[in-house]
A = this chain, B = another copy of it.
Amino acid sequence: MIQGKLGTLVGRSSGYIESLPAPVRRRVAGLKGIQQEHSKLEAEFQEEVLELEKKYFAKYTPLYQKRSSIVNGAAEPTDEEVEAGKQDDEDEENEDADKEEAEEDEKKETSTEPMNGIPEFWLSAMKNLGTLAELITDKDEPALRLITDIRMEYLDRPGFRLIFEFPENDFFTNKTITKTYFYQEESGYGGDFIYDHAEGDTIDWKAGKDLTVRIESKKQRNKSKIL
């Protein structure tokens, strides 16, 4: 938790070090040499953390697959999963309110058509994440509400890829749209991975459906220029 912070205390220079007598400056240079050994160990540590992240990612994956099946209506959750989820809610909510809700449900059910899976799950999820919500405009929503899955995968080099999965739709022909985040091969001071750049797929918009094009009805200020 703290050793990274202690590490950053060493190795900074202002005019102070230069003003010291030579034997002291030699010791400071020696500490910098020792700090290099420390940095090598920190880079090894970050490599091991990444391996651990990958190990756990493999453990999370079946849960993500279950989620995807439920969201898209390919499977229903088990009673155990539902009970565990309800107990989670009851920690926060009032039980009486739950009962009233249940009665209300019965009324709703008779008046509502059957729904497959959880409609608009990913759009709702994204709109619940503050920083992401700010980026979503009304114009984006018709496409984003179609998302059937968002997945991540690690690259062979430092970095990861986000995969957005879509069904057949009116906007573009892509079945998936991915964005890949590349990190530098050399780790930084303290062993951290350093972000390099990201690359996104080209979206194959259907004719007239490009949501990134702003259609403006411009008034001609000076018609004579056209003529």
Residues of chain A having any CB pair with chain B under 8 Å: 1-3, 6, 8-12, 14, 16, 18, 20-38, 41-42, 44-45, 48-50, 52-53, 56-57, 59-60, 63-64, 66-67, 70-71, 76-78, 80-86, 88-89, 101, 105-106, 108-109, 112, 114-115, 117-119, 124-126, 128-129, 150, 152, 160, 162, 193
Task: Report yes or no: A27 in contact with B70, Cβ–Cβ below 8 A.
Answer: yes
Task: Report yes or no: A82 in contact with B24, Cβ–Cβ below 8 A.
Answer: no
Looking at the assembled complex, report how far the CB atom of A135 sits from the nearest CB atom of chain B, in whole angstroms: 15
Q: DSSP class of A's interface residues: helix, strand, loop or mixed?
A: helix
Residues of B within 8 A of A41 (CB): 56, 59-60, 63
The complex places the Cα of A90 from the Cα of B220 at a distance, in Å, of 62
Residues of B within 8 A of A76 (CB): 26-27, 30
Seed contacts A22-B108, A26-B76, A34-B67; 7 additional CB < 8 Å A-B pairs: A6-B152, A14-B128, A29-B82, A29-B86, A32-B89, A49-B49, A52-B52
| Nearest 9 interchain pairs by C-beta | A30-B77, A32-B85, A33-B81, A33-B84, A29-B85, A33-B85, A22-B105, A9-B125, A30-B81
Looking at the assembled complex, report how far the CB atom of A4 sits from the nearest CB atom of chain B, in whole angstroms: 9
Residues of B within 8 A of A52 (CB): 45, 48-49, 52
